[in-house]
Amino acid sequence: MRHESDGNTCSSQILVGTSVIENIQTEDKTDEYSCRMFIKIPEINDLNSVYLQKNDKRIYHWIIGINPHDSSTSLGKNTVNIQWDPRQFTSSGHYYMLNGYEMTAEIIISDMRQSTHLSVMGADATQYFSIIWALDYAVSQIHLKTGWNLTSLPFQSAVGFPLVDFFS
């Protein structure tokens, strides 16, 4: 993934993925920047530029931090454009992006193969996004309105559990 800032030229790259062995590389720390993108690993306090997780799961979660503003004292908001190349993705599984670092956060990109960029606008504060790769899980959200909602989901019992017993 890479991002570029409007106005000032700012370009940085991060690398997420899987490998035979885990690989984490800390980003070069500097107090001055025109925009910042990094990988956040909850168990590690450092800001990282590379996070290759060990290839032994069916679902992976990477947390990306983005500060679209520069480190100067200028006020206001800035926009950065984040881009990725889906040709570098594995051919299997589903890639999607969430707004936040929790797995229950809102899906903002449901198919990262189809949508290849995201614009992030903000002041001098870090915004977090999650990249999820799941081998078996297609992603969907049901948007409900405040109040009562009638939602129908199919129920199939693998063990012949009678549906009447489910409601008694």
Task: Compute the mean pLDDT over every residue in the chain, rounded to the nearest whole number.
Answer: 80
Rounded CA separation 89/95 (Å) = 9
Whole-number percent of the chain with pLDDT over 90: 28
Query: Tens of pLDDT along 51-93?
Result: 889 988 889 999 998 888 766 656 677 788 889 999 999 999 9
- Alpha-carbon 74 to chain mean position: 28
CA distances from 72 to 5, 38, 148 (A): 14, 19, 49
Rounded CA separation 80/124 (Å) = 12
DSSP for the chain, please give it.
Answer: -EEEESSS--EEE-EEEEESS-EEEEPPP-S--S-EEEEE-TT--SEEEEEEEES--SEEEEEEEEE-S-SSS--S-EEEEEE--GGGS-SSSEEEEEESSSTTSEEEES-TTT--EEEEEESSS-EEEEEEEESS---------SS----------TT---HHHHT-
Q: What tokens were used for 75?
A: 């006020």
pLDDT at position 71: 62
Query: Tens of pLDDT along 39-54?
Result: 888 888 778 888 889 9
Whole-number percent of the chain with pLDDT over 70: 72
Q: What tokens were used for 162?
A: 């009678």
CA distances from 36 to 31, 33, 68, 96 (A): 11, 7, 7, 22
pLDDT at position 138: 63
Mean pLDDT of 138-152: 72
Rounded CA separation 117/103 (Å) = 21
Residue type, 142: I
pLDDT at position 108: 94
In this prediction the pTM is 0.74
